[in-house]
Structure 1
């Protein structure tokens, strides 16, 4: 699979979600049954990867969230304003079809999600995510996400750090 041929775009009615299988029934079910409704209700923004603009090879969702200042690791918290909650962007789900495993599509989707989050004009201190399991948590840790103490497998990475990674600008939007 040539990642240069992959298009990532908002989920639309033209995308065939019926054959998607990532090996996690809850994620497969979400894409097939819930993602379109979440998009219409504006509670999540699903994005899909495809090589033919029909077949879904992977997807992720972004939405707004907040994080308690007390959840932020101490080294980061000491540099932040003392607001009880800080604005963040939630990477709610990320999955790749079993047919697309091992080619770097997961990282490709993650970089696209980071780029979209960084380019947003909405203030966001960090990109936050809840990993499905330790394997997923390890994937995100390899991408320099840090675990939030006291949570099962919730991780974050500062938006200004992500902006530097993808060459974006967050002037005035991060702490």
Structure 2
């Protein structure tokens, strides 16, 4: 839990995006320049962890629809799925915590919000998929139960069945 008063909400024009710095320029630039457009165009849905006292964005993530080619999954999981070529999934596209808030466990806190939000959605999704930007990100996701796609070391997934068990 954050040590400050907060909300997690859809990005809106009242959020201070200019001061956000996570240490990865592409993620900072995305929030400043692209996230609002993606929301308006229904390309991705950005959510922000908003510090109500300082009016700062402590972290953010984006969600979007995607699909997984069933043949890309391990055989043990594939055997339990319908014989469709593709299955629906949710893409956790961007994920970042501002440098001023790092080291407080907010990444794990935000990830719990991601997984809960997807689990509570009324849209079918077989798994959450992420494309880790670097080794540190991959280790973070693996620590939280994500598994690498065979032959794709930076692409990971977490089945909804596992997520449902975590919250039961």
Task: Please give the range of the TM-score, normalised by the shorter of the 2 chains.
Answer: over 0.9
Q: Residue 89 of structure 2 aligns with which residue?
A: 88
Cα distance in structure 1, aligned partners of 2:37 and 2:112: 25
Q: RMSD value over aligned CA atoms?
A: 1.4
Shift of 1:161: 1.2
Structure 2 gaps, min length 5:
none
Matches within 5 A, 1:8-87: 8-52=8-52, 54-87=55-88
Q: Residue 173 of structure 1 aligns with which residue?
A: none
Name the count of aligned residue pairs.
167
In the TM superposition, structure 1's runs of 4+ consecutive aligned residues that sit over 2 Å from their partners are 1-6
8 Å CA contact retained: 2:2, 2:106 = no
Per-residue CA deviations over 1:88-122 (Å, capped at 9, x if unaligned) read 00000100000011100001111101111111111
8 Å CA contact retained: 1:44, 1:62 = yes
Shift of 1:5: 2.7
Asked if residue 160 in structure 1 is aligned to residue 131 in structure 2, the reply is no
Q: Residue 5 of structure 2 aligns with which residue?
A: 5
User: Please, what TM-score do these two structures have when normalized by structure 2?
Assistant: 0.95
Structure 1 gaps, min length 5:
168-175
Cα distance in structure 1, aligned partners of 2:136 and 2:27: 15
